[in-house]
Structure 1
């Protein structure tokens, strides 16, 4: 294939690659939303597809001595790409799981830094997870027929890995002069630092976000009880987290069963919730069920350590017909 033929074919095929890249980006984002991910916070950079620059594509196909293609158009698999940038290494795994379990495409995991670390444990270099995705069957999207042979490259990185890649890609891999060994060594040291920092971030996040509440699935179970009996979805806010933090010692594997037993005999609690949805923000949170249980079973402890305004607690107790001293 000549360069002129390559250019003509690429111009003709651009709409196909654009449609497939957009489909991949939208599908992964939709799957993340279905897992209740807030894309504005989970993805640190908006994920959208991009077509490879014409000049860069031609250079890669015909002018780079390390690339020797027999069929450059079909062998180059990053003509369109999508990049997902997240905060933590565990976030990368979530996207990997979505990609690898989707029925909409086949995938080739062409690069994964975990495997790189296994094969070269002493090497610190550019890190990212790369997939090549192709439609499982020919598909129609955006009024464009996308053949099952159409590739899309997906990159998944942490924010620190992305910062490293953005700095080094142009500075080193696109350098116009030979890069000296000292530069490569400095880049390798920075990658080692980034990997260590990523590990620290993951450790801190685990410590901040995992405790008895998560161990026993308390919030999910209470949310389910709340919805089943009120028809409303619970919306956990910072106020609830302050309550749970203060009474974490009360959380155990029997807590939800004890709350349910209490509610079975005091079912009027749910009528209070439905009659007062806007009078108190706690009424929109399933943590309210825990507070009423504490008012009934551990009132002294609740009054002693209550972290919010006392007037809020007095209002809740009044609505439930529970007597507490008024300050």
Structure 2
């Protein structure tokens, strides 16, 4: 009869035989994740805080999970059943981004077979002490067509799962502390500590939701401001035969002016009407103004405000007065008269 020591030695021997392909597969997963996420990073407004970087389970950790964990101790094939032999994680800013990346990974089935292995809410209900369960867990298994695994059967491929965790930065920081303290530490039976960390996790989840709401609000504002800016650029081209250099647009300055003069109360159509009424003056302004502001699309908005409400414009103006005086002069307005 095989002794426990022999079982453990055989497990590690079998594990060592898997490691080269596990590492190769994990490298492929990391690179592919970065490629497919960066392809969508601008359109989806994703901010990667920590890029994917795989980690291989240590021999000692594998033995502990295979033979000294209630979930696997009676398993005839623990090496196959343990699906986090190699794992990677990607850390993002908000829960919204986590959901987006999850859908990106699930939809790219030309690279892997993918399965959701843990639902955060259901997993936490079952195992409230395992604080890394708040992350989304996906299991990525190689396809039979993978060049890495030529000649491997579907049964063989099941040994090469790479576990992917998708977390927010808050979830990541909390899990790194709580997982080591509770799940692997000496305090797993300390109910008071578990309750305290549970409260902290609840607060973290609420904070994540607030962050998500804040990002949604910012995105709506950014979307409106981008649309307004594009409207000014298009009007310059279509009505004034002038093309701004998009690479030279000062976005912080533009947003500053937009906020001060509350562009949500201004219709692009009204600016267009103003251009049509004062086309020659505005063409001259764009052609002859050599200042930094004159190379920014917001100069069209400022010109509109000169015509529409010059008193309010002067009252709210917070930059050098001479900058505004030049625009007034080129539009045949006296700066001393509101």
Task: Determine if the TM-score, normalized by the shorter chain, exceeds 0.5.
Answer: yes
Report whether the alignment pairs 1:293 with 2:307. Answer: no
What SS class does the counterpart of residue 298 from structure 1 fall into?
helix
1:205-225 Cα shifts (integer Å, max 9, x gaps): 555x267x457x342353265
- Other-structure match for 2:66: 62
**Alpha-carbon separation, structure 1, partners of 2:117 and 2:26:** 21
What SS class does the counterpart of residue 300 from structure 2 fall into?
helix
Confirm or deny: 8 A CA contact 2:281 2:331 kept in the other structure: no
Report whether the alignment pairs 1:16 with 2:24. Answer: yes
**Alpha-carbon separation, structure 1, partners of 2:31 and 2:121:** 27
Deviation of the 1:91 alpha carbon: 2.9
Report whether the alignment pairs 1:283 with 2:283. Answer: no
Q: 2:108 aligned to 102, 107, 114, which one?
A: 102
Deviation of the 1:246 alpha carbon: 1.8
The alignment of Structure 1 onto Structure 2 pairs a total of residues equal to 309
1:16-40 Cα shifts (integer Å, max 9, x gaps): 2233232233124413434274x7x
Deviation of the 1:204 alpha carbon: 4.6
**Alpha-carbon separation, structure 2, partners of 1:311 and 1:268:** 19
What SS class does the counterpart of residue 175 from structure 1 fall into?
coil
Q: 1:233 aligned to 246, 263, 273, which one?
A: 246
- Other-structure match for 2:240: none
Q: 1:83 aligned to 84, 89, 97, which one?
A: 89
**Alpha-carbon separation, structure 2, partners of 1:155 and 1:80:** 11
**Alpha-carbon separation, structure 1, partners of 2:311 and 2:225:** 22
Confirm or deny: 8 A CA contact 1:295 1:322 kept in the other structure: no
TM-score normalised to structure 1 length: 0.75
Deviation of the 1:165 alpha carbon: 0.5
- Other-structure match for 1:256: 268
Report whether the alignment pairs 1:302 with 2:316. Answer: no
Structure 2: gaps of 5 or more residues: 1-6, 238-242
TM-score normalised to structure 2 length: 0.73
- Other-structure match for 1:219: 226
**Alpha-carbon separation, structure 2, partners of 1:12 and 1:283:** 57
Q: 1:66 to 1:73 in 2, by over 3 A?
A: same
**Alpha-carbon separation, structure 2, partners of 1:187 and 1:87:** 21
**Alpha-carbon separation, structure 2, partners of 1:13 and 1:103:** 20
Where in structure 2 are the equivalents of 1:161-240 lying within 5 Å?
161-176=171-186, 179-206=189-216, 209=218, 213=221, 217-223=224-230, 226=233, 229=237, 230=243, 232-233=245-246, 235-240=249-254
Bigger proportion of residues as helix: 2
Structure 1: gaps of 5 or more residues: none
Confirm or deny: 8 A CA contact 1:259 1:290 kept in the other structure: yes
**Alpha-carbon separation, structure 2, partners of 1:155 and 1:138:** 25
Deviation of the 1:261 alpha carbon: 4.1
Confirm or deny: 8 A CA contact 1:87 1:159 kept in the other structure: yes
Where in structure 2 are the equivalents of 1:305-320 lying within 5 Å?
305-318=316-329
